[in-house]
Homo-oligomer: A and B are copies of this chain.
Amino acid sequence: MRFIVVIAAAAALGLGSTTVHAQSWRPPADGDRCPSKWGADDQRGAANHMKPDTVLRAARLIRTGQVFELGRVLSGSIPLGPRRFELNTKRTVMNPQSNRRGSNEEIVFAEIGQVGTQFDGFSHQTIGNSMYNCYKVDETSTRTGFTKLGVEHVGALMTRGVLIDVAAFKGVEMLPDTYEITAADLQGALQRQNLTLQPGDAVIVHTGWGKLWGSDDARYARSNPGLGVAAAEWLARQDPMLVGADNAPINVTPSPDPQLSNPVHQIMLVVHGIHLLENLKLEEVASARAYEFAFVVQPLKIQGGTGSTVAPIAVR
């Protein structure tokens, strides 16, 4: 019954039917996508856009000094799916010297690259045994990380950020539960904002779904509006440095084509070498209509890691 209500609401908003945008996509063969356009042994993909000019272009967008925090607080009670973030406080040491210096710390057990607001590295995703630039899982994975495509190769990223507010374009606070964002949605939203994408941008998609974080975590995790295959392919053609959103998987969930498991992850990370940013906190930046800004993210340099929990910012 809930489904019917959702679809009715979508129709009323002119949000269309998901059957129209059904995903049909097949992962390309290794030979059709490798070597990457960034070179046969490249490990950074679109992060190679990070150059002095990119930084300067971003810095010029800083006009008021206003900072938007795009990272969520990290704790064991956030939506983690099957993962864990377990923090144990340690009251470790009261040093014996006369200045009575006590020292506290904590032990954390977590899928640290894949919890909270997170930056997905290239070793996170595969097509079969093959990752970005056709590095093979079997040949690069060790007990203590990957010998190729580890997140330590990315480095800090500072570039022009563009928020594409699809929810505002559709006239809603939050897109419906399983809404597939189309290329036309992205284009329409950009037009409404009077902005165009440039190669090397950090493209951030606002679905409104982040409003559920902390208020209805179960719904946040059950499904989500997000990019469809066509939108992802159009975005990839714009040559961004990275793509982020205020949902967990970037992709619309469930996948409109049940034969596909999160194809957007493969399109971005494996095929095109474009990093992803998940679970962004976009409420403030969207509410302020801050559509263009300097974007800065500093992934932890986890050697051989598949990603990094992060706390990125938008500055304008």
Contacts and interface: CB of A to CB of B under 8 A. Distances in A.
Interface of A: 25-27, 50-56, 59, 62, 64-67, 69, 71-76, 82-84, 86-92, 94-114, 116, 123-129, 137, 141-146, 152, 155-156, 158, 255, 258-263, 265-266, 294, 296-307, 309-313, 315
B73 A303 contact: yes
A27 B100 contact: yes
Given A73-B303, A89-B143, A99 B298 contact: no
Given A261-B97, A298-B297, A312-B298, A305 B102 contact: no
A109 B107 contact: yes
Of the listed residues A26, A124, A155, A300, the one surrounded by the most CB atoms of chain B closer than 10 A to its CB is: A300
Contacts of A143: 82, 88-89, 92
Contacts of A100: 27, 126-128
Contact of A145 (B106, B111, B260): B106
23 contacts: A52-B66, A54-B65, A56-B62, A67-B155, A67-B156, A71-B298, A75-B302, A89-B145, A90-B111, A94-B128, A96-B261, A99-B260, A100-B128, A101-B125, A102-B129, A104-B137, A105-B114, A106-B113, A106-B306, A108-B110, A108-B112, A112-B112, A116-B301
